[in-house]
């Protein structure tokens, strides 16, 4: 079933990227609420204190204060994801970063597209994914959207 998830969290310090994501999400899933954090530390704090658990979490890598990989590690070590899928969402297509994200427990690695329709498609695919049947792919290219 399409788009059952309601509480979407996004950690990204780039205002333009946040707006781009927000517009795409609003277009494909107007019922979803979006909680935005400007860096990893803010995301971790929000996950610790916010009463509404996330259904899915998107984290940029390159952020000040606490980067996305550090945030991912803290989230997984402290079970702050509440079993929600965690997606690394970055402009970087660096294979080492992708491997680290996978090793730290991200469910997928999404390269930020410049095209709005491509972004909508990627978000839609992730929101409609059957996460209860998700298994980590051993093939790195299948891990990247």
Round to whole Å and give the CA distance between 9 and 47. Answer: 9
Listed residue (39, 81, 23, 78) closest to 56, CA to CA: 81
Q: Assess whether pLDDT exceeds 90 at residue 3.
A: no
Round to whole Å and give the CA distance between 61 and 39. Answer: 9
Domain boundaries, the chain: 7-129+139-143
* List of E strands, the chain: 7-11, 33-37, 56-59, 86-90, 108-111
At 60, is the pLDDT very low, low, confident or very high (cuts 50, 70, 90)?
very high
Q: Assess whether pLDDT exceeds 90 at residue 40.
A: yes
- Region 8-27: mean pLDDT is 96
Given this structure, which CATH class describes domain 7-129+139-143?
Answer: alpha beta
- Find residue 57's DSSP bridge partners: 9, 86
């Amino acid at each position: 079933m399409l788009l059952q998830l309601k509480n979407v969290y996004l950690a990204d310090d780039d205002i333009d990227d946040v707006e781009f994501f927000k517009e795409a999400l609003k277009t494909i899933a107007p019922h979803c609420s979006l909680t935005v954090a400007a860096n990893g530390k803010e995301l971790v704090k929000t996950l610790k204190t916010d009463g509404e658990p996330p259904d899915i979490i998107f984290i940029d890598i390159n952020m000040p204060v606490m980067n996305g990989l550090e945030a991912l590690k803290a989230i997984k070590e402290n079970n702050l994801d509440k079993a929600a899928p965690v997606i690394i969402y970055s402009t970087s297509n660096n294979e080492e970063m992708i491997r680290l994200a996978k090793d730290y427990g991200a469910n997928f690695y999404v390269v930020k597209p410049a095209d709005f329709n491509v972004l909508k498609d990627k978000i839609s695919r992730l929101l409609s994914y059957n996460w209860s049947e998700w298994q980590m792919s051993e093939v790195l290219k299948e891990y990247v959207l």
